[in-house]
Amino acid sequence: YLDTITPQVGDKWRADEVFVKVKGDLKYLFALIDDETRFWIAKEVANRKQGHNASGLFRQAKEIAQTNPRVIITDGLPSYDEAYKQEFWTRDSDTRPKHIRHIRLQGDMNNNLMERFNGEFRDREKVTRGIKKTDSIMFDGYQIYHNYIRPHSSLDGQTPADKAGIKIDGDNKWLTL
């Protein structure tokens, strides 16, 4: 059902990765979130951080959102730059999204929103005492929880789905979904 919904997201997207242990093995959760609505658009689990082809993450985001961003913000990981060139780069600079990858804690651009998301995911991972398999329901389930169930204080108590124009009726949103 949720795969048939197109969220109405903004034109600035952020991507970052966080390490997770799956059955004791180090993996990376690559995630992409809309800046305006905080909607978690796309994700993928990778075996490594360096050398991972993140173009699948960007392609998935374009398919789900049915649009391209105006700006995409990442850290300096080369995987993002390569994926940006594969998925977004065009000769026409007017239609090409701007890729900002010189983020830092202080200065003109930071990625605090993604770092907060990473902490949010890490908190949930601790409660569940780790992840047992790469295709764990933990990844999809937490994405659903983040987008459709959990109200965000930065969104004035709304969920990212509310901000993205998706209405989930009922007192028990899990049951409705």
Q: Is the pLDDT assigned to residue 116 strictly greater than 90?
A: no
The predicted structure's pLDDT at residue 92: 83
Nearest residue to 142 (alpha-carbon basis) of 36, 21, 23, 43: 43
Nearest residue to 57 (alpha-carbon basis) of 49, 22, 123: 49
What is the C-alpha to C-alpha distance for residues 171 and 175, in angstroms, rounded to an integer?
A: 9
What is the C-alpha to C-alpha distance for residues 69 and 12, in angstroms, rounded to an integer?
A: 6
Q: Which two tokens stand for residue 158?
A: 């709304």
The predicted structure's pLDDT at residue 109: 64
More confident residue, 32 or 20: 32
Mean pLDDT is lowest, of 32-36, 75-79, 110-114, 165-169, for 110-114
Q: Is the pLDDT assigned to residue 162 strictly greater than 90?
A: yes
Quick: pLDDT tens for 73-95. Answer: 998 889 999 999 999 988 887 88
**Contact assessment for residue 1 and residue 168, using Cβ atoms and an 8 Å cutoff:** no
The predicted structure's pLDDT at residue 24: 83
